[in-house]
Structure 1
Amino acid sequence: MLSDDFWRIIRIGVVGLVLAAAAAGLVFGDAWLWVAVEWSPPAYAESHMSGGFDTPTIVALLVAAPVKAALLWLIVRAPAPGPLDRRAKALRRLLYLAVADSLVLWYPIALLPDAVDSAFRLALWTAIDVLYLLVIRWRSRMLRAAAGAMFAVELAGTANVLLDELDLPELGPGGVVELGLIPAGVAATIFTVVGQRRDGRWSRGTLVAGWLSAGVYALLIPLNALFGRIPGGYLAMLVMMDAVGLVSTVWIAATARELPTQDRPADLPPARRPVIRVAVAAVTVLPIIALVHPEQHARLTYTGWSMDCYERHSFGDLKPAERDAAFLCRARSTEGGVPPMFPDSLSDQAILAYGRALCRTEGRDEQEAILTRAGSARPAWGADPWDLVYVCPQIIGTTHPELLRSTAETEAANAAYIAEKNAKCRDPWPRTKGVVQATANYFLFVDGDPGYLVHDPEDEAADKAAEQAMDRIYDDSTQIGVAGSAALIGHLGDVVDLCLTVKAFRTAPPQRTAGWYQVNEVSIVSRSGRLTVPEMGEGGEVGAGAPMPNLAIAGKGRYRLRVYMRVDDAGEEQHLVVVFPGASRKRLNLKP
């Protein structure tokens, strides 16, 4: 066993390193300060670091540094000498492994898949809890049974998380199981500390650390609701809770350190046993009673700015137990500065009930009446099907089946739709091959789009040229507005898409105006050596449905742009855009 002097050197080195690193953080910046105090990469706080930490967060980090250093001083201590049986030795090793996990191992384990992390913790704490029941001298069967029950509830919660990450059937709805985890954890800690006290081998300091650990655990109940309601100061609160949370690690380390058997008191006199039974029963029952609220109680699981609400998942990507939470996020959302659908004063249960009532309405008037009754700040807006689908998919899905899709299914459906639209478009000059060419469907805005661009996207003045081209499109009847490196081409009919073919030639091709309603030729310049048509980007709704080539085949310079337009017998609009080098700046009306 290592000497006390060696352990003292380690303690001084570790604590000194933490304090020195925190001091260095004041010099080297916020990222260094975060690593020095929180012992985690800056990426864990990068969403809050734009422009640096705010004052409350910096103050919290500077306060947390000496607090964590002091708690580390209590953690890094030499194990007490003394005999240990086989079970006690195993428990000490596992407890020290839990301490190492809390301080160091959590980060490399977090780099592994989430299921590995959950499986590790389930295995570790299952073994520790079993050995707690076997090693601690409880002196009461009722106390040991109550502790075992609370251990089982905690482990069931961890198992539920593991099943969720493995996409296996869960033990119960995630929200319900998680709600019972914190009271069960508090009760399990209290039972263990009572058992340690009755055992007699643990010092008063260890018992105090245990009671403080239970208090910190209990704080998670109000703080879980409070975190989502703090627009600023969230990170500062998180830093302080992380520092105070080390009290639990102090207790675990002290429990492992003082495991050797020493003088233990005799069995408690019979007169005190009824009192202990009443206390154990109260501690067991009260957390369960605390979980039961009347239906009108405002249980606010998800507020408009909760962290879990930032990601907008598609209906098909969520498990059934997660869909109510998704609706609650949308119902309380204030994204874009708009008022929420429901006020925060309503409970989760009430909002879900109102949501299902909205699904059964037959018009906006009925929705407005329901939202008015609920106290909504925007009742006239009603509720959209893409929000209601999460609470009544069987109703919304009959009229909007596309809302039931997952993200992958939506992307596949969009790709199939674009491919189908592109397949309907044909090259109007199939025998005249350009140096480069492409044919695709061009998708316009549904609510009316002036047209599409042929432009130089790398021109420094590209945006200004596009604005000027849009201003000039209505100067005459040619449906073409030109400004430098941009040409905005309009359309003949009121359409939402058209078939577009682009071709580039080295010399002017024959005019071939027969069969076309309108043919015009203008001048355009390429300042970077590129001329192209915008493509539909990822998640976009406007642009060409296939990759468009660079039409400036001769590099930088001036080009002629000839545009053919017509509407076929089926009412489909077709455009042919021809580009070739040319110095002329004349605007030609070739047809009509």
Structure 2
Amino acid sequence: MHLSRSAASASLAVTFASIALSLVLGTATPAWLATMWYAPGESLKTSPLLPVLGGLLLVGLVNSWMLWQLFRGPAPLVGPVRRAATWLRLILYANVAWLLIPSFLPSPVELVIGLVLWASALVLITMVLTGPGRAFRSALLLVGAVETAGSFAIGLVDDPVSRFFPGTAYRATVLVVEVAVFAGMVMLLLAQRRDGRWSRATILVGWGTFASGFLVELVDGLTSGSTIESIAEAMDVLFLVWLARTAHELNREPRRPAPLRVPAAVMAAASVSLLMMIVGPENRPRLSYTWQGEQLPPSDCWTWRDPPRVADTPAHERDRAYLCSVNKPDRDISDQALFSRGRAACVRFARGEPVKARPALLALLCPEVIGRSHPDLLLSSAQLAQRQKEKDDLAREQMRREARREDALCRDPWPALRTRFQATASYYDWDAQPYAIHDKEADTSEDSDAIWDEETLDPLETRGALALFFTPSQDWATCVTAKALGSAPPPLRRRGWDEVVEADIVSESGRLVMQTLSASKVRFPDLARNGPGRYRLRLYTRPEQDLILVYPAGRGERRGQGP
């Protein structure tokens, strides 16, 4: 038995056996693996069994016919064959093998290999053809060069590593490549007819490649499940058959060039094809994420942590924004299926039924429905920012009013010791943090680290140009009074106070400042009355009240404990 018949028979046997096994097991997975030659997606589990098996049976029959065409080999030699024809036949069979056998190479490598094989075939075809003139063959080479360069650029954009092509330039390049592919295929078929060595069946199969492409697009547009779409795409094998038949009939002898007449039906179909390629679908761009789908470049889609807001998204961009938000790269589902699920969820949401989809996503498809129960989702980012600003301003004003009331309740604990350089404010220790006095011009980060590294902390801790006060409580406000004196105050007195401690602080800039304590923004004066130098801090503390005296540290200063 001839090799082609053996391959076709084996394919038919495997197809029927796998379908029978699928019927017995109640799942289409065996038939899918035998006919589609790759693992099925999740959508196969939810698809009805008998329609899927019917489609897979048709795919198996088409595959058997394709294998019969591919394994026929070269036709019997009629006359002397040029070396270019021998190389062309080899390159054509290499193209068939490359397109048919799965590859696991990186995408850029696969792209280069495929383009090199096809470009080599185009160059050799122009050398082998005898009917068309030199101008025709030069034009065919030019169209092939445009197709190859454009396909290479598109392949780089589709590669996730290479994301540099602007969206407008990408779409223009896709249009040019589509026109070049269409024109190149038409020129090849016309040249084959004028050459005379290829049969009418081969040329008809070549013209059928356009019909198969429209069939796939029609099925993609009418169906919403990726299973039917994948089956339709798997039946697009006429191009492989045309390549194999072209290689098979290269051994024939060219005949007298036929007149260049194209059937009216072919011209009409070609005109409609070119018009549809130029005009394109009504909803541009059409996203597709099926296993053989044509994807948009990364620049035409975005990724968000949260869905974009309806008010921030133009009406003509909301469908694309919805697809970009709900699609997962590892999920095999078409755009039509995503839209269908989203609109069905909108209907259920309007009826008050529970839905799994987030209202923020559904708002992109049906804002009028979602807005009835979630009006905030219809606000723009600017409106939300303004609303949040108003809330923050109100909260700050409330804190200032409360702070002013607390400040008004605080009293000077030593009114007899008056000075122009003093202030009183309330302090809440919400985060278990002390308040501080420090030299405004000094870097106190190292001083602060050294204080916090100590094992035990006293109510007053100083180091260098920093003093930290660990007296406030989280349970109530502490009234803090600070007084800057030009000389040493009266001796220490303990009566009425729990603790009285002293320590030194250094101010090289001559400016000692108290941090802002109260939300009412009470301002404390400069506590370094005598400019740069060393100052003495005396802290009087008891529950809810601190008194701090700041004065120059003189040599004759009395530092003993008072009564």
Q: TM-score normalised to the size of structure 1?
A: 0.47
Greater C-alpha radius of gyration: 2
Q: TM-score normalised to the size of structure 2?
A: 0.49
